[in-house]
A and B are shown apart, each in its own frame.
Chain A
Amino acid sequence: DQQVKQNSPSLSVQEGRISILNCDYTNSMFDYFLWYKKYPAEGPTFLISISSIKDKNEDGRFTVFLNKSAKHLSLHIVPSQPGDSAVYFCAAKRYSGAGSYQLTFGKGTKLSVIP
């Protein structure tokens, strides 16, 4: 039961263009969404997040959009740079009881930025 889905396993974009990575979720109890970036042989690193009460959050070249009615979020990277080439994971946070929170991750999308 995939509660967080990233349907595109890979994406190729020309340097300087916009990269758009998509994520869908099914659980309405998620209250926060995060994007992580992962290079080979390294752990995921936090990139940007958005609360479920917002519809947009921007940080430099990275913007995350949330469409709560569609249960869809997207990460925009503009302009894309070769160093952005990595696997991007979408994650959703929800309260899981006894005062604890849980992150549920998507399968990841491999972004390749072509120079």
Chain B
Amino acid sequence: DTAVSQTPKYLVTQMGNDKSIKCEQNLGHDTMYWYKQDSKKFLKIMFSYNNKELIINETVPNRFSPKSPDKAHLNLHINSLELGDSAVYFCASSQDWASGATNEQFFGPGTRLTVL
């Protein structure tokens, strides 16, 4: 019974293509996130969504766009893929983002994107 799931687990594609990664959480959490882990192993926040509103948008290219059809889903769309987009992308979720609680985040298994 997976708490945070992502599909696909692996994605290999050509430069210039458009692709999407899906994320779903069944924890009833309020906030969902996308992280990118690059070749240097840094885990960096890309986006977070709370109640369908974007509340963090780090300096990522506008080729990346998060889409949240409902509170349980946050999909990541990437247009015109570039070689530098190759990385592992993690989805995460957390509860009660505004309360000042621990903000423990639950992570999905990751999607390894390879752009050729």
Contact = CB atoms under 8 A, between A and B. Distances in A.
A45 interface: yes
A41 to B, nearest CB: 7
Contacts of A32: 102-103
A59 interface: no
Given A102-B45, A103-B45, A107-B40, A44 B56 contact: no
Given A32-B102, A46-B104, A105 B110 contact: no
Q: How large is the interface on A (under 10, 10 to 19, 20 to 34, 35 or more residues)?
A: 20 to 34
B97 A42 contact: no
Given A34-B102, A43-B90, A100 B97 contact: yes
B41 A43 contact: no
Given A43-B92, A43-B108, A103 B103 contact: yes
B48 A44 contact: no
15 contacts: A31-B100, A32-B102, A32-B103, A34-B104, A42-B109, A42-B110, A43-B92, A44-B90, A44-B107, A93-B102, A98-B55, A99-B55, A99-B98, A102-B45, A108-B43
4 residue pairs, one from A and one from B, having the closest CB atoms: A43-B107, A105-B43, A100-B55, A46-B104
Interface of B: 4, 40-45, 48, 50, 55-56, 90, 92, 97-98, 100, 102-110
